[in-house]
Structure 1
Amino acid sequence: MTAPILSVDVGAVVANWRSLAALHGGETAAVVKADAYGLGAGLIAPVLARAGCQRFFVATADEAIALRGLIAAPWIAVLNGCPAGRENDFTTQALVPVLNSLADCARWQGAARAAGRALPALLHVDTGMSRLGLDAGEWSAVLRDRSCLNGIELQFVMSHLVSAEVADAPETAAQVARFAAIAAAMPDVATSLANSSGIFLGDTARSDLARPGVALYGGNPVTGQPNPMRAVVTLAAPVLQIRVIGPGETVGYNGTWRAARRSRIATIGVGYADGLPRTLSNRLTARHDGRVVPLVGRVSMDLMTFDVTDLPDIVPGAMVDLIGPDHAVDDLAAEAGTIAYEILTSLGQRYRRVAKSV
């Protein structure tokens, strides 16, 4: 019987990158952290590089080293920076750290002295996220004494938007103003600000380098509006078994769904171990030939059950679409009470991954 199939339309990823670059009007990188948001950096990054993408962002040093083995693109930046003791990996693999603190700057200066040359980096200044990045005190220290950047080839100064997906969010205006002041203090350094949603803010968040992530993979970057991106992911699983139960019988753990009539129950071999969260229990609506197939009962580790009483053509071996043209990843995420990012990055390794439109 066919295994669950996760199809990745890499042609759509490239089309999304090109449309985002056109909208941004400037250089546009690709964020391929977390294995390209769970879809497979090995499938996606080489295709983007062949399409002309020259700058890639990942989160960790190990992700960057793995990516370096996949693509010839000259520039891979590491958002979490260079961990202590990994400086040699960065210099030998030509990786570019994001410097998130004065301690990061000092350590990278040391690496530059050891290398006998200036080393490239980005400087991250926090403007409101309160995660990584120089805080207000550290940024003030940089303004007082720029020697903390000596020996560093500072290629970009960057920040990260808190609520770019929310139209007219007051946080965005405040962050943009702070970032404009930061950029003005470093007029010879290029800037990077807009993420996927930030690109759709137009001139408000425009910078020299955009960093789209989820929009590349078909996630909706504009909350409450039609998704402007091409769909990338389809996820389908075969029916393993059909069971007929009588009125009053229950389905799944703890009997959370009870049949009101004689019912046909289809079981598929996908569960929360495959990234379909338990919060989808009694809420997920799959599709078969465009028709709604409701999940009944709890999502279990390896299995889910659907009421197919009104769909007699669903038999063992028939495919049920969990993500597809009529049920996007954002729709599934809403049913789970989460966001598309979490769904994509949680998709497990038991799917047969198939690349389309290469």
Structure 2
Amino acid sequence: MTGLALPPEATGLITIDLDALQDNWRTLAKLVAPSECAGVVKADAYGLGASEIIPALNLAGCRTFFIATPEEGRAARQLAPDARLFALDGLLGGSASLLRAANVTPVLSSLPEIEEWVAEASQAGRPAPAALQIDSGLNRLGLSEADIKALVARPDLLAALDIRLIMSHLACADDPADPHNDAQRAEFDRRRALLPPAPASLAASDGLMLGKPFHYDLVRPGYALYGGQAFGGGATPVNPVVTLQARVLQVRTLSAGDSVGYSATWQASRPTRLAVVAAGYADGLARALSAASGEPGGSVLVAGQLAPIVGRVSMDLITIDITDVAGNVTRGDLVTLIGPGLSIETLGRAAGTIGYEVLTRLGPRFVRSYTGGGA
């Protein structure tokens, strides 16, 4: 939905600022120029809604997108008919025809994938467009040096590929001081030199902040586009995109000694005002945000003031201590879980996780509302 109206049946509201999203992409594109700036929109654009995110980025000038699965590729093709699309998960067994039908280029990470993709593309009678992923030290998906040499030793198979991109992925890009970064870059250069020349890509959101030597021909920001700040070497020049708010269902008063929530893990040490909020672990708020007496958990913002979560996060509800909040809090008010003064990273740290997981786990009961994004 567009605008800020919250339907009466909705428990909470995720507001996505498409103007900020577009500005973030333009800023990063300028930062890495003349390298191309792509957009990673896998996992439904990190849970924010690919149906709105992809057209907004395309309108801003983004022409290359990375998704993960064939179904994500099919949907993205409908949203950006003329864009280049790369499928990061490569070929799921038997999915080659689906990718070819949607004009999605798979990122191939093994010889069996390459063989399957070439066999599929041979039906069209032309080389198979593909990206090749090199394992440069992450030890996840990627061609090993032995795989690369085996591919090169099969000139018929290599000639059947139209290599559009050679890529790899950094393991420690969030820490600019980690020696893995330079070691992986050197290994990437060494291994890709064994292959025919092709455009190269190494950096995602954090890697692009490591400087020009990591930019190559294309960078692949995802989290940073959505306002994420995971880079440990300073602020990424992007602005927040997401605000998350949830409804107050009830306000109640506790006496000193009263307990709150399952297992009575938190007891009031004073007369306490409590607000019950319609958000829980079914909505993506980690149970680790729970607070026991003497052990802090997460916090929310109430009228711009921090209020701690008390007791256990349950499936549909959290309880917050609003005793020290100035002003009146009533049923129906909205409290802020992500927004100015309470970043995605802050929520992630309180839950013992990262902002990426926070975004991608936000549940469907929260209404997504989109602002901006026009020409």
> What TM-score range do you get, normalising by the shorter chain?
over 0.9
Partner of residue 64, structure 1: 73
Counterpart AA for 1:292: L
In structure 2, distance between residues paired with 1:148 and 1:169: 37
Partner of residue 354, structure 1: 369
1:264 equivalent to 2:279? Answer no
Partner of residue 5, structure 2: none
The answer to whether the 8 Å contact 1:293/1:308 transfers is yes
Partner of residue 141, structure 1: 150
In structure 2, distance between residues paired with 1:8 and 1:198: 25
Find 1:334's aligned residue among 338, 341, 349. 349
The alpha carbon displacement at 1:233 in A equals: 0.5
SS at the partner of 1:56? strand
Deviation readout 1:270-326 (Å, 9 max, x if unpaired): 000000000001211111222111111000000000011122411111211100000
Partner of residue 62, structure 2: 53
In structure 1, distance between residues paired with 2:158 and 2:132: 9
SS at the partner of 2:79? coil
SS at the partner of 1:185? coil
Counterpart AA for 1:346: R
1:233 equivalent to 2:242? Answer yes
SS at the partner of 1:111? helix
In structure 2, distance between residues paired with 1:126 and 1:146: 21
In structure 2, distance between residues paired with 1:168 and 1:352: 40
Partner of residue 205, structure 1: 214
The answer to whether the 8 Å contact 1:100/1:124 transfers is yes
| More deviation, 336-345/310-319 | 310-319
Find 2:25's aligned residue among 1, 17, 20. 17
SS at the partner of 2:203? coil
Give matches, 1:1-358, under 5 Å.
1=8, 3-25=11-33, 26-186=35-195, 188-223=197-232, 225-282=234-291, 283-311=297-325, 312-358=327-373
Counterpart AA for 1:12: A
How high is the TM-score relative to the length of structure 1? 0.96
The answer to whether the 8 Å contact 2:200/2:217 transfers is yes
SS at the partner of 2:56? helix
The answer to whether the 8 Å contact 2:248/2:335 transfers is yes
In structure 1, distance between residues paired with 2:238 and 2:142: 30
Counterpart AA for 2:344: V
In structure 2, distance between residues paired with 1:91 and 1:225: 41
In structure 2, distance between residues paired with 1:168 and 1:203: 16
The answer to whether the 8 Å contact 1:112/1:152 transfers is no
How high is the TM-score relative to the length of structure 2? 0.92
Across the aligned residues of Structure 1 and Structure 2, the Cα RMSD in angstroms comes to 1.4
In structure 1, distance between residues paired with 2:272 and 2:99: 59
In structure 2, distance between residues paired with 1:80 and 1:310: 49
Task: Work out the percentage of aligned pairs sharing the same amino acid.
Answer: 42
In structure 1, distance between residues paired with 2:244 and 2:286: 15
The answer to whether the 8 Å contact 1:122/1:156 transfers is yes
The answer to whether the 8 Å contact 2:283/2:316 transfers is yes
The answer to whether the 8 Å contact 1:105/1:149 transfers is no
The answer to whether the 8 Å contact 2:266/2:310 transfers is yes
SS at the partner of 1:240? strand
In structure 1, distance between residues paired with 2:23 and 2:230: 15
Deviation readout 1:84-105 (Å, 9 max, x if unpaired): 3222222221110111101111
The alpha carbon displacement at 1:227 in A equals: 4.8
